Amino acid sequence: MTGRPHPPAARRDTVRRPAHHVRDDLFAIFPDLPWHPHTASSSQQERVARHVAEAHARVEENIRHQQQATERVRAVIARRRLR
């Protein structure tokens, strides 16, 4: 006999699984379940833009603090040189 043997009949008669994930409506049945609803892309863009703006504000503040610390260290070094 040439070629591949046929699979057993029990394997051919099994129920096929769906190609994509089917989500049960458990959240409608149990509304207290923790979950995050899917958000529209526009609201995601707004959220990301807000996070970026907040990060820029923190970066500017950190740079300002670093510059002030550098100036304090330079002032201490300058005072020591004058002695």
Q: Is residue 82 part of a domain?
A: yes
pLDDT tens digits, the chain, 83 residues: what are they? 556 666 555 555 666 766 666 566 776 777 777 776 666 778 888 999 999 999 999 999 999 999 999 999 999 999 998 87
pLDDT value of residue 62:
97
71 occurs within a structural domain: yes
Nearest to 70 by CA among 81, 62, 58, 80: 62
Q: Is residue 14 part of a domain?
A: no
* Global pTM value: 0.47
Residue 82: per-residue pLDDT: 83
Contact 33, 26 (CB under 8 A): yes
Nearest in space to 26 (alpha carbons), one of 18, 14, 34:
34
Asked if the structure places residue 59 within a domain, the reply is yes
**pLDDT given for residue 55 in this prediction:** 97
Residue 64 domain-assigned? Answer: yes
72 in a domain, yes or no? yes
Number of compact structural domains in the chain:
1
Q: Residue 11: its pLDDT value, please?
A: 57
With respect to residue 4, please indicate whether it lies within any of the assigned structural domains: no
Q: Can you give the residue range of the structural domain that contains 60?
A: 54-83
Whether residue 69 lies inside any domain: the answer is: yes
